[in-house]
Amino acid sequence: MGASMGKVTGGEALLLSLIEENVDTIFGYPGGTIMPVYDKMYYYADRLRHILTRHEQGAVHAAQGYARVSGKTGVVVATSGPGATNLTTGLADAMVDSTPLVCIVGQVGAPMLGTDAFQETDFIGISMPITKWNYQITCAEEVPQIIAKAFYIARSGRPGPVVVDFTKNAQVGDCDFRYQKCSFIRSYVPTPQVNGEEIAAAAAVINGAKKPFALVGQGVELANAEKELAAFLEKADIPFGWTLLGKSVAPADHPLNMGMLGMHGGYAPNKKTNECDVLIAIGMRFDDRITSKTSAYARQAKVVQLEIDKAEINKNIKADFPVLANLKESLPLLTQAVAEAKHAEWISSFRPYAEEEHARVITPQLHPSEGAITMGEAVSQISKRANGTAILVTDVGQQQMAAARYFEVKQPRSIAISGGLGTMGFGLPAAIGAKVAAPHREVILFVGDGGIQMTIQELGTIMQDGVGVKIVLLNNRFLGMVRQWQELFYDRRYVATPMLNPDFVKLAEAYGIRSRRVAERAALADAISDMFAHRGAYLLEVVVAAEGNIFPMVPAGASLEDIRLE
**Active centre residues (catalytic):** 56, 118-119, 168, 481
CB contact burial 314-331 (16+ within 10 A = b; e otherwise) = eeebebbbbbbbbbbbbb
Residue 544 pairs in a beta bridge with 373
ω before 251 within 30° of 0 (cis)? no
Q: In what order do the strands lie in the sheet with 74-78?
A: 49-52, 25-28, 74-78, 101-107, 161-167, 133-137
What is the rounded distance in angstroms from the CA atom of residue 385 to the CA atom of residue 122? 49
What is each CA distance from 442 to 85, 428, 437, 532, in whole angstroms?
32, 14, 11, 9
What does 82-118 look like in DSSP terms, one character per residue?
HHHHTTHHHHHHHHHTT--EEEEEEE--GGGTTTT-T
Q: Please report how the helices 226-236 and 327-337 are oriented relative to each other, as an axis angle in degrees rounded to 10.
A: 20
Cα end-to-end distance, the chain, whole Å = 63
CA neighbor of 304 nearest in space, from 157, 203, 235, 195 = 203
Helix, strand, or coil here: 367?
Answer: coil
The residue count of the chain comes to 566
Q: Please report how the helices 56-70 and 88-96 are oriented relative to each other, as an axis angle in degrees rounded to 10.
A: 30
Is 296:560 a contact under the CB 8 Å cutoff? yes
CA neighbor of 12 nearest in space, from 167, 196, 140, 117 = 140
Per residue, the 3-state secondary structure of 457-511, as one string, reads: HHHHHHHHHCCCCEEEEEECCECHHHHHHHHHHCCCCCCCCECCCCCHHHHHHHC
Find how far residue 204's CA is from the centre of its chain. 34
